[in-house]
């Protein structure tokens, strides 16, 4: 493994060699043999990615055991972080069993959370997680990782069962993404912070594509797309549009712009669940969110700005101070909590949003240039 490889539109370089993989698998097998001596565990291999890891691990398991292969199914057209419907292949009777889930890689932990919730109704004796690769910096869940082979940073990898758009699973070693990653930014800020103005400048400077959730919703509804009609059905009932519909719309927009060097996500994510869904979607494209840039503006300044904007915009919610303050309150109480998610990832940057437009732009450029 000395050469870079190309899978689709991405280039990957050698990362973890076969001997290192086998050493990790052997170490895990030895520990499991010791811990489960005298027991008969049921190994649950989560397809598709875990098949090679499972095959090599089972060659070194010396205790009595059983193996089954399961697959998660979800709503059609929804990213892997969408609602999981069922486990295909789970044995009917697992009550009283010692279960070991075999995963190829654990990053955010969303899949593990789903597995735990699905296995919870069964009266099992014990449940453990064994994964070949583990990304501790990306892990967001509470469940213990009982056995792991190799810890890796939050980078995109393929090979040994792992894929990029279903390619690369057959590689006997593991490769990591080497080409310059897309610059993907979450632009954050309360109403009146100036996101629209600054987004247009970021687009021009870094050749990014601006994805405003509001604009995407309006375009889909006006165009009568299937997703737009679905979103409108919820809106007409006064209900919030489900996360899976919103993320599907954004996915569609990203897919329409394959030449973009990156995206500005404006108005999304608004919750931690949405942030995880966005990261999952991007990771399957070999990308991730690079920065969350949060424009910080005092409430009184925001009120003045929006009242002045109302003179030109004609928007009723910009002309009513009570409505303005309610909008800011909702932002602070609900949307702003997403900042904690990106802060834990080391991607949150607060930008002073007061001053001239040029000054604010310079601060944004400075923050971006520090990481590109």
Task: Point out the residues that are catalytic.
Answer: 195, 270, 309, 315, 327
- Tokens standing for 166? 């279903």
Look at strands 42-47 and 10-16 and give their pairing: unpaired
Sheet with 42-47: list strands edge to edge. Answer: 84-88, 66-74, 42-47, 98-106, 126-134, 147-151
Query: How far apart are the two ends of the chain, measured CA to CA in Å?
Result: 28
- The three-class DSSP label of residue 107 is coil
Q: Are 157 and 23 in contact (CB under 8 A)?
A: no
Enumerate the β-bridge partners of residue 167.
Answer: 164
Q: Are 247 and 278 in contact (CB under 8 A)?
A: yes
- Can you give the length of the chain in residues? 372
From residue 200, give the alpha-carbon distance in Å to each of 265, 275, 365: 12, 23, 13
Phi, psi dihedral angles at 56 (to 5 degrees): -70, -35
């Amino acid at each position: 493994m000395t050469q870079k490889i190309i899978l689709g539109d991405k280039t990957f370089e050698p990362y973890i060699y076969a001997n290192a993989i086998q050493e990790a698998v052997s170490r895990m097998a030895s520990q499991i043999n010791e811990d489960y001596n005298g027991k008969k565990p049921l190994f649950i291999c989560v397809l598709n990615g875990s098949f090679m890891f499972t095959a090599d691990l089972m060659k070194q398991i010396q205790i009595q055991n059983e193996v089954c292969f399961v697959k998660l199914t979800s709503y059609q057209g929804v990213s892997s972080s969408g609602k999981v419907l069922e486990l295909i292949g789970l044995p009917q009777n697992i009550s009283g069993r010692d279960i070991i889930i075999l995963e190829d890689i654990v990053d955010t932990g969303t899949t593990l959370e789903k597995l735990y919730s699905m296995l919870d109704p069964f009266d099992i004796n014990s449940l453990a997680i064994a994964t070949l690769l583990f990304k501790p910096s990306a892990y967001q869940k509470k469940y213990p990782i009982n056995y792991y082979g190799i810890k890796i940073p939050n980078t995109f990898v393929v090979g040994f069962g792992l894929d990029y758009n279903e390619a690369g699973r057959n590689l006997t070693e593991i490769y990591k993404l080497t080409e310059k990653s897309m610059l993907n930014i979450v632009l954050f800020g309360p109403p009146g912070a100036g996101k629209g103005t600054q987004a247009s400048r970021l687009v021009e400077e870094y050749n990014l594509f601006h994805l405003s959730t509001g604009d995407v919703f309006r375009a889909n509804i006006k165009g009568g797309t299937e997703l737009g009609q679905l979103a409108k059905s919820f809106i007409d009932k006064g209900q919030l549009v489900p996360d899976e519909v919103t993320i599907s719309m954004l996915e569609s927009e990203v897919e329409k712009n394959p030449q973009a060097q990156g995206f500005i996500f404006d108005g999304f994510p608004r919750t931690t669940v949405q942030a995880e869904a966005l990261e999952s979607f991007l990771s399957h494209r070999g990308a991730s969110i690079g920065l969350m840039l949060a424009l910080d503006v005092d409430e009184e300044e925001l009120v003045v700005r929006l009242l002045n904007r109302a003179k030109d915009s004609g928007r009723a919610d910009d002309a009513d101070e009570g409505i303005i303050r309610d909008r800011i309150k909702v932002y602070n109480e609900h949307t702003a909590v997403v900042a904690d998610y990106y802060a834990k990832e080391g991607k949150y940057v607060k930008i002073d949003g007061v001053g001239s437009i040029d000054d604010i732009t310079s601060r944004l450029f400075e923050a971006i240039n520090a990481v590109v």
